[in-house]
DNA sequence: CAGTGAGCGAGCTTCCGCTTGACTT
């Protein structure tokens, strides 16, 4: 048996190993740098080594090894890589520390992400080991069980921050990070120097500090920061090492603690006053308030309609022949100098004209007005003349390179990906070295990236499309709040792979996203698009001298500019809100040349009705855009903000009719939560809170303010949050905040309706002669709540009458309960005629429940009739006596579906087994004594995993 | 369990930002 040596890279941590295998399934590993004990290999994951019909399985703890080459003899050593011999020497040095001093010292470099570690390793001299900590390694206790027992009794323990003593935080090592920490501890003990190369922002600085706190290095440690991952930048940063900036760390700590105090103080108030498990926070509550606000605007929206006249005009009286070619479309702008109303003139909450518009003397044209006017325009003697022609050259600026938020928005708009999906795809592209880091708020391109983009532009579109060096996009506006730890999102490297070149390396979705990033990066370095916009007013002079002024506009592309990068893939974009001056969105594609005083001829006039539209619901992309504009949230959290709201059942996604996009609809619980917060804690739904926090944090970072003082002033004292929360907890009337003041169209004068949110979810209260409470779905939109649905709910509550049990004479109803459908047999003292006519309360008085039987989830209730119902009603079914125990064996339906049971032991009947009605004693006893076969369990798990 | 929304009471729920995980043969 021959021995083969494989060179193996751990893909994730970049440790190098040699693998020697003797037999196909025996894998021995010689670790290059670490003791054998620290490496655990298992065969849970198979990796093809490229040898036909042979598979090897390796795993370095949880990291996936990357098998770079096959036999050592065939190893293609790149220049600059280290020879095998050199490595062996290193290993010896490692294993005998006494001799190590003579060798060159080893430096441990810690960055945040493994992919970054991999890249940086390439740029650094051999004596450095680069590893990653995967973001924050410590955190405030996530839940009650992470709080140390000895502190649990203290009043502030729940917060995880000692608010009685300088806001001292309790830090715990996150569960999923303990392995990372152990690993780094081991490394730091065997190196001579520690370099903290985490991101250059508030969070990165804090991570560096936490690393020092946790690792307790006995060797010197320093901080290195760089803006871009290039050899030059990294080397430079290593020549300019600095200390950890404690002010910056304090700013981060203040941010972290503030968020905790806000969230963990307000959430419990929601539990007490509305329902358990609700949440509030600096970021999520702002987002939620926006969504709810928009929904309320939609509910209070009143539509208004108005008419306009559209004129098709020709250049010559012989319009029949050339109408298509040279015609133009214009719409009525004003009549006798008075402007016609458009959508903007109406108040969305009343549907009436706005005050200012009325004062202006605006004309609100109805159909009759339009038709009258139209007739007068058709009379002979009416002339049409061009009154004015105005030409403007407008340019549309090339976009700036992608940052996280704009990537998510464009990816949603052009590719239909959600923010989460976009980030997952981008992560893959990043890890495989196709793009730069995807969580960034800096739109800056490095010089090498600009050069690479320019090269692509020249090659693909020509030199004419290249932006001037002095153009503004070379120094894009950076958001005031940007922390600039990374550069913009762009294709990686010093020369960009074209989208075609990546086709075979990634999935189609990845390719699409890569192409979007590629084109945006190129576009950012291209010239602006130039348009000629022509704006024309045309007078129609009526017989009595009245003047109807029409307006039209046209747009011609003079220079395609950066649009070329997009148009060839995404098609030509028609809508440019920033260029259009028509509120009725009418544009002539090919406006003929016109001059002042020119006579025109009308060949078609038509009244057109327009209606105002309610403001659209937010899409995920629009919400992210709005939050980013307010400075709320960070690139790493945009995609998860919405997930939180969905998880809390505050918001659900709804697919708009006929469109691919999904819009965000607030649930009823969200309305009550926002009600409470707006009324009692208005700052938490206000984006201004984050803005002022950022300002304070900047001062802390600059050393102008003290972080403890900041927290103290916010949380403690007479006007602090703590005191306020206590007072509110006492004074907020739970009954009052539960009520949602929603306009409900219920046309029953004898009844009033209220929507409330209780601990078990939303319900409506019908108050008439008696009070009825009816559960409604949390997802039900206020719009859907009307007389009809309320009536349906009342009917549903009554249940469906199936008939009478011939044996007992009792009535059988099919009802829907908290746990699904069930059958109810009630004693019936009523005549069949009075069925459904009595109020529920009366019914309840007259009827006594004899028996309830639940139905399994898969029963088709639509087709359930009396006979079937009686069959279910016969459950539970006694099968007989178990000879082993002497107890009764029963078949029935329980909370988990059909089962057989005996003496406290229950076994579910899976599909494929005998039904509850058919199963006999023998089969049941067998099932109970040999509960679940190995085969069965495996099947169950397998399907779960697949899902 | 069988249409609750009040209260009893132990113990729990909850925040935002960094980052990548992902369990038997």
The alpha carbon dihedral of A446, A447, A452, A453 has a sign of positive
Active site residue A437: yes
Radius of gyration of chain A (CA): 36
Both tokens of A126, joined, read 């051999």
- Out of A157-171, A462-476, A530-544, A713-727, least confident range: A462-476
Largest CA distance in chain A: 110
Nearest to A322 by CA among A601, A617, A125: A601
Which residue's CA is nearest to the C1' of nucleotide B5?
A758
Beta strands, E only, A623-699:
651-655, 662-666
pLDDT at A221: 97
pLDDT at residue A22 greater than cutoff 70: no
Both tokens of A947, joined, read 């899902």
Q: What is the distance in angstroms measured between the alpha-carbon CA of A147 and the sugar C1' of B12?
A: 13
- Mean of the pLDDT values across residues A337-365? 94
Q: Is the CB of A256 under 7 A from strand B?
A: yes
Both tokens of A232, joined, read 């030059």
- The β-bridge partners of A18 are A7, A30
pLDDT at A79: 33
- Mean of the pLDDT values across residues A782-789? 78
Residue spans of the domains in chain A: they are: 107-137+174-244, 254-301+617-739, 305-391+535-552+583-611, 404-527
What percentage of chain A exceeds 90 in pLDDT?
54
* pLDDT band with cut points at 50, 70 and 90 for residue A425: very high
Q: Is the CB of A644 under 7 A from strand B?
A: yes
Both tokens of A86, joined, read 């050199």
Which residues in window 699-728 of A are less than 7 A from strand B by Cβ?
Answer: none
pLDDT at A555: 86
For the stretch A363-418, pLDDT in tens is 999 999 999 999 999 988 899 999 999 999 999 999 999 999 999 999 999 999 99
pLDDT at residue A764 greater than cutoff 70: yes
Contact in structure between A742 and A752 (CB atoms under 8 Å)? no
Place of tokens 């004309």: A363
For the stretch A666-679, pLDDT in tens is 999 999 999 999 99
**First and final C-alpha spacing in chain A:** 43
For the stretch A303-318, pLDDT in tens is 999 999 999 998 888 7
pLDDT at A36: 29
Q: What is the distance in angstroms measured between the alpha-carbon CA of A769 and the sugar C1' of B5?
A: 20
Which residues in window 646-665 of A are less than 7 A from strand B by Cβ?
Answer: 648
Superfamily of domain A254-301+617-739: Topoisomerase I, domain 2 (1.10.460.10)
pLDDT at A666: 95
Comparison of pLDDT for A645 and A63, the residue scoring more: A645
- The β-bridge partners of A745 are A786
Contact in structure between A243 and A222 (CB atoms under 8 Å)? yes
pLDDT at A424: 95
- Mean of the pLDDT values across residues A341-354? 95
A748 — phi, psi (to 5°)? -115, 110
pLDDT at A96: 42
Q: Could you give the CA distance from residue A945 to residue A928 in angstroms, rounded to a whole number? A: 27
* pLDDT band with cut points at 50, 70 and 90 for residue A846: low
Q: What is the distance in angstroms measured between the alpha-carbon CA of A784 and the sugar C1' of B2?
A: 27
Residues composing chain A:
947
pLDDT at A696: 98
Q: Is the CB of A906 under 7 A from strand B?
A: no
Q: Could you give the CA distance from residue A486 to residue A870 in angstroms, rounded to a whole number? A: 69
Q: Is the CB of A201 under 7 A from strand B?
A: yes
The contacts of residue A590 (CB under 8 Å, 6+ apart) are: A554, A556
Tell me whether residue A103 is exposed, middle or buried, using C-beta atoms within 10 angstroms of its C-beta: 0 to 12, 13 to 18, 19 or more.
middle
- Mean of the pLDDT values across residues A813-842? 66
Contact in structure between A240 and A222 (CB atoms under 8 Å)? no
Q: What is the distance in angstroms measured between the alpha-carbon CA of A273 and the sugar C1' of B6?
A: 13
Bridge pairing between strands A128-132 and A107-111: parallel
Contact in structure between A787 and A748 (CB atoms under 8 Å)? yes
Place of tokens 């105090």: A261
Contact in structure between A597 and A386 (CB atoms under 8 Å)? yes
Bridge pairing between strands A547-559 and A328-335: antiparallel
Both tokens of A781, joined, read 């939109």
Which residues in window 843-902 of A are less than 7 A from strand B by Cβ?
Answer: 852, 854, 895
Bridge pairing between strands A4-10 and A820-827: unpaired
Contact in structure between A901 and A916 (CB atoms under 8 Å)? no
The alpha carbon dihedral of A906, A908, A914, A916 has a sign of positive
The alpha carbon dihedral of A781, A782, A788, A789 has a sign of positive
pTM of the model: 0.82
Both tokens of A775, joined, read 């559960």
Nearest to A111 by CA among A180, A195, A197: A197
Query: Which residue blocks in A76-113 are alpha helix, DSSP H?
Result: 84-95, 97-100
Q: Kindly report the average pLDDT of chain A as a whole number.
A: 82
Q: Helix, strand, coil % (nearest 5) of chain A? A: 40, 25, 40
pLDDT at A11: 36
Q: What is the distance in angstroms measured between the alpha-carbon CA of A907 and the sugar C1' of B10?
A: 32
* pLDDT band with cut points at 50, 70 and 90 for residue A907: confident
Report how far apart, in Å, the C-alpha atoms of A437 and of each of A228, A446, A501 are.
Answer: 10, 13, 20
Contact in structure between A71 and A92 (CB atoms under 8 Å)? no
Report how far apart, in Å, the C-alpha atoms of A651 and of each of A284, A419, A491, A648, A806 are.
Answer: 11, 16, 35, 8, 48
pLDDT at A361: 93
Nearest to A35 by CA among A267, A207, A190, A148: A190
Q: What is the DSSP letter of A622?
A: H
Quick check: bond before A876 cis, omega within 30? yes
Contact in structure between A587 and A576 (CB atoms under 8 Å)? no
pLDDT at A527: 96
pLDDT at residue A641 greater than cutoff 60: yes
Where on the phi/psi map is residue A17: left (φ > 0), alpha (ψ -120 to 50), or beta?
Answer: beta
Which residues in window 103-142 of A are less than 7 A from strand B by Cβ?
Answer: 112-116, 134-136, 139-140, 142
- Mean of the pLDDT values across residues A595-614? 93
In the CATH scheme, what is the code of domain A107-137+174-244?
3.40.50.140
- CATH class of residue range A305-391+535-552+583-611: mainly beta
pLDDT at A231: 85
pLDDT at A53: 22
Q: What is the distance in angstroms measured between the alpha-carbon CA of A893 and the sugar C1' of B24?
A: 33
Report how far apart, in Å, the C-alpha atoms of A108 and of each of A18, A196, A222 are.
Answer: 22, 8, 11
Domain A404-527 CATH assignment equals 1.10.290.10: yes
Report how far apart, in Å, the C-alpha atoms of A470 and of each of A399, A467, A521, A613, A699 are.
Answer: 16, 8, 17, 43, 34
List, as own/partner pairs, every contact residues A684-687 make where C-beta atoms lie below 8 angstroms and the sequence separation is at least 24, other chains included: A684/A262, A684/A266, A684/A280, A684/A281, A684/A282, A684/A285, A684/A286, A685/A285, A685/A286, A685/A288, A685/A289, A686/A286, A687/A286, A687/A627, A687/A630, A687/A631, A687/A632
Report how far apart, in Å, the C-alpha atoms of A386 and of each of A335, A381, A411, A540 are.
Answer: 15, 16, 44, 9
The contacts of residue A814 (CB under 8 Å, 6+ apart) are: A799, A800, A802, A821, A822, A823, A824, A861, A864, A869
pLDDT at A753: 85
What percentage of chain A exceeds 70 in pLDDT?
80
Q: What is the distance in angstroms measured between the alpha-carbon CA of A224 and the sugar C1' of B8?
A: 59
Q: Is the CB of A440 under 7 A from strand B?
A: no
Place of tokens 């932006």: A467
pLDDT at A406: 97
Three-state DSSP class for residue A12:
coil
Place of tokens 């992608």: A402
pLDDT at residue A635 greater than cutoff 70: yes
Q: Is the CB of A672 under 7 A from strand B?
A: no
pLDDT at A842: 52
- CA dihedral in degrees (A746, A751, A757, A760; nearest 10)? -110
Task: Find the catalytic residue in A430, A437, A562, A899.
Answer: A437
Comparison of pLDDT for A846 and A766, the residue scoring more: A766
Q: What is the distance in angstroms measured between the alpha-carbon CA of A62 and the sugar C1' of B22?
A: 10
Query: Which residue blocks in A67-134 are alpha helix, DSSP H?
Result: 84-95, 97-100, 114-123
Q: Are A107-137+174-244 and A305-391+535-552+583-611 equal in CATH topology?
A: no
A55 — phi, psi (to 5°)? -125, 140
Q: Is the CB of A145 under 7 A from strand B?
A: yes
Report how far apart, in Å, the C-alpha atoms of A24 and of each of A3, A49, A882 are.
Answer: 11, 11, 53
pLDDT at A617: 95
* pLDDT band with cut points at 50, 70 and 90 for residue A913: low
Q: Is the CB of A815 under 7 A from strand B?
A: yes
* pLDDT band with cut points at 50, 70 and 90 for residue A204: very high
Nucleotides of strand B within 7 Å of the protein's CB atoms: 1-6, 11-25
Q: Is the CB of A190 under 7 A from strand B?
A: no
Which residue's CA is nearest to the C1' of nucleotide B1?
A819
Contact in structure between A856 and A897 (CB atoms under 8 Å)? yes
Bridge pairing between strands A172-173 and A138-139: antiparallel
* pLDDT band with cut points at 50, 70 and 90 for residue A722: very high
């Amino acid at each position: 048996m021959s021995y083969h040596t494989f060179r193996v890279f751990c893909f994730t941590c970049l440790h190098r190993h040699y693998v020697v295998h003797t037999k196909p399934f025996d894998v021995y590993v010689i670790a290059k740098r670490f003791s054998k004990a620290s490496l655990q290999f298992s065969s849970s994951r198979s990796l093809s080594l490229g040898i036909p019909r042979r598979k090897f399985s390796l795993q370095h703890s949880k990291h996936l090894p990357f098998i770079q080459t096959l036999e050592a003899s065939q190893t293609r050593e790149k220049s600059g890589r280290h020879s095998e011999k050199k490595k062996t020497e290193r290993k010896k040095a490692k294993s005998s520390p006494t001799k190590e001093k003579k060798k060159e010292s080893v430096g441990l470099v810690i960055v945040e992400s493994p992919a970054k570690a991999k890249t940086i390793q390439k740029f650094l001299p051999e004596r450095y080991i680069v590893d990653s900590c995967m973001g924050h390694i410590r955190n405030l206790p996530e839940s009650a069980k992470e709080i140390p027992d000895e502190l649990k009794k203290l009043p502030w323990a729940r917060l995880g921050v000692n608010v009685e003593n300088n806001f001292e935080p309790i830090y715990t090592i996150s569960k999923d990070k303990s392995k990372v920490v152990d690993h780094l501890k081991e490394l730091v003990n065997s190196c001579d120097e520690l370099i903290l190369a985490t991101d250059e922002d508030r969070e990165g600085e804090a991570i560096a500090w936490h690393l020092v706190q946790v690792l307790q290095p006995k060797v010197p440690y320093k901080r290195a920061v760089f803006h871009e991952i290039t050899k030059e930048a990294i080397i430079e940063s290593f020549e300019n090492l600095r200390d950890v900036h404690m002010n910056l760390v304090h700013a981060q700590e203040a941010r972290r603690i503030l968020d905790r105090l806000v969230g963990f103080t307000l959430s419990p108030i929601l539990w007490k006053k509305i329902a358990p498990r609700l949440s509030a926070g600096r970021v999520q509550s702002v987002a939620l308030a926006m969504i709810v606000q928009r929904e309320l605007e939609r509910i209070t929206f009143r539509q208004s309609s108005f008419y306009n006249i559209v004129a098709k005009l020709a250049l010559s009286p012989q319009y029949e022949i050339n109408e298509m070619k040279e015609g133009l479309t214009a719409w009525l702008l004003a009549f006798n100098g008075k402007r016609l109303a458009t959508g903007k003139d109406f108040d969305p909450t009343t549907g009436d004209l706005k005050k200012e518009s009325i004062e202006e003397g605006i004309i609100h044209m109805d159909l009759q007005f339009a038709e009258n006017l139209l007739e007068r325009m058709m009379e002979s003697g009416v002339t049409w003349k061009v009154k004015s022609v105005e030409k403007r050259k407008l340019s549309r600026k090339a976009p700036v390179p992608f940052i996280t938020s704009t990537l998510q928005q464009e990816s949603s708009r052009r590719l239909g990906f959600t923010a989460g999906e976009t980030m997952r795809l981008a992560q893959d592209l990043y890890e495989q070295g196709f793009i730069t880091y995807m969580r960034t708020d800096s739109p800056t391109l490095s010089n090498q990236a600009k050069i690479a983009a320019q090269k692509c532009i020249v090659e693909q579109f020509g030199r004419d499309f290249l932006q001037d060096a002095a153009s503004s996009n070379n120094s894009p506006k950076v958001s005031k709040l940007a922390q600039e730890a990374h550069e913009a999102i762009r294709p990686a490297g010093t020369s960009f792979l074209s989208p075609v070149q990546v086709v075979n390396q990634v999935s189609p979705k990845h390719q699409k996203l890569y192409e979007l990033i590629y084109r945006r990066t190129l576009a950012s370095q291209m010239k602006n698009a130039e348009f000629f916009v022509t704006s024309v007013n045309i007078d129609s002079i009526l017989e009595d001298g009245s003047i109807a002024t029409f307006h039209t506009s046209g747009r011609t592309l003079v220079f395609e500019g950066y649009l070329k990068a997009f148009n060839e893939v995404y098609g030509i974009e028609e809508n440019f809100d920033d260029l259009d001056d028509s509120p009725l969105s009418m544009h002539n594609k090919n406006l003929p040349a016109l001059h002042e005083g020119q006579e025109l001829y009308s060949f078609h006039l038509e009244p057109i009705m327009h209606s105002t539209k309610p403001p659209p619901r937010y899409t995920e992309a629009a919400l992210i855009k709005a939050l980013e504009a307010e400075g709320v949230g960070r690139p790493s959290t945009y995609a998860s903000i919405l997930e939180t709201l969905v998880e809390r059942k505050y918001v659900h996604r709804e697919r708009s009719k006929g469109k691919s996009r999904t819009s965000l609809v607030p649930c009823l619980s969200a309305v009550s939560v926002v009600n409470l917060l707006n009324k009692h804690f208005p700052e938490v739904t206000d984006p201004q809170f984050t803005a002022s926090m950022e300002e304070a944090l900047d001062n802390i970072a600059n050393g102008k303010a003290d972080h403890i003082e900041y927290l103290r002033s916010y949380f403690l004292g007479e006007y602090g949050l703590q005191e306020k929360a206590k007072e509110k907890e006492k004074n907020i009337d739970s009954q009052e905040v539960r009520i949602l003041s929603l306009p409900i169209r219920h046309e029953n004068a004898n009844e009033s309706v209220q929507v409330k949110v209780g601990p078990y979810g939303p319900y409506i209260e019908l108050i008439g002669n008696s009070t009825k409470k009816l559960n409604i779905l949390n997802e039900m939109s206020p719009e859907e709540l009307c007389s009809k649905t309320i009536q349906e709910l009342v009917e549903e509550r009554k249940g469906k009458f199936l008939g009478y049990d011939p044996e007992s004479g009792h009535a059988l109803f099919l009802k829907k309960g908290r746990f699904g459908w069930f059958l109810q047999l009630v004693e019936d003292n009523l005549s069949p005629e009075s069925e459904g006519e009595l109020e529920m309360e009366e019914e309840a008085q007259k009827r006594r429940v004899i028996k309830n039987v639940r139905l399994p989830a898969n029963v088709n209730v639509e087709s359930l009739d009396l006979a079937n119902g009686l069959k279910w009603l016969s459950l539970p079914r006694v099968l007989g006596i178990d000879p082993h125990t002497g107890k009764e064996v029963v078949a029935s339906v329980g909370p988990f579906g059909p089962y057989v049971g005996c003496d406290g032991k229950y076994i579910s009947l899976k599909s494929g087994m005998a039904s509850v009605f058919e199963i006999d004693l023998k089969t049941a006893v067998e099932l109970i004594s040999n509960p679940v076969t190995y085969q069965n369990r495996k099947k169950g798990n397998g399907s779960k995993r697949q899902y």
